[in-house]
Amino acid sequence: MTSWNPTAHQPLTVWRSEAVGDPESDLLEGIRLLERVRDGESGPTLRLYRPEPTVAFGQRDIRLPGYGQATASARRLGFAPVVRKAGGRAAAYHQGTLIVDHVEPAGEAMLGHQDRFRILGELYARALGDLGIEAEVGEIPGEYCPGEFSVHGRPGPGSRTTSPVKLVGTAQRVVSGAWLFASVFVVEDSAPLRAVLESVYADMGLDFDPTTAGAAEDLVPGTTVEAVEQALLQAYARHTTVVDPQQPLVG
Write the CATH number for 182: 3.30.930.10
Residue 247 lies in a domain: no
**Does the residue 85 lie in any domain?**
yes
Residue 7 lies in a domain: no
* pLDDT digits 0-9 by tens, 145-185: 999 999 999 999 999 999 999 999 999 999 999 999 999 99
1 inside domain: no
- Beta carbons within 8 Å of 110's beta carbon, 6+ residues apart: 174
Q: What is the pTM of this model?
A: 0.94
pLDDT tens for 113-139 read 889 999 999 999 999 999 999 999 999
* Rounded mean pLDDT, 31-47: 96
Q: What domain range includes position 169?
A: 12-241
Confirm if 241 and 104 have CB atoms less than 8 A apart.
no
pLDDT in tens, 211-229: 999 999 999 999 999 999 9
pLDDT grade for 2, boundaries at 50, 70 and 90: very low
Identity of the residue numbered 35: E
Q: Does a structural domain hold residue 151?
A: yes
Residue 246 lies in a domain: no
The backbone torsions φ and ψ at residue 134, rounded to the nearest 5 degrees and listed phi first, read: -80, 90
Helix (H) or strand (E) holding 116: helix 113-129
Provide mean pLDDT across the span 199-222: 97
Number of domains, the chain: 1
- Residue 4 in any domain: the answer is no
Determine phi and psi for 158, rounding to 5 degrees: 90, -5
- Strands 165-175 and 242-243 come out as unpaired
3-state DSSP assignment of residue 77: coil
Quick check: is 2 in a domain?
Answer: no
- Please tell me the predicted confidence (pLDDT) of residue 246: 81
Position 35 pLDDT exceeds 80: yes
Confidence of residue 233 (pLDDT cuts 50, 70, 90): very high
pLDDT in the model for residue 34:
96
Q: Which pLDDT tens digit goes with each residue over 43-81?
A: 999 999 999 999 999 999 999 999 999 999 999 999 999
Q: How far apart are CA 239 and CA 245, in angstroms?
A: 19
- For the chain, the maximum distance between any two Cα atoms, rounded to a whole number of angstroms, is 52
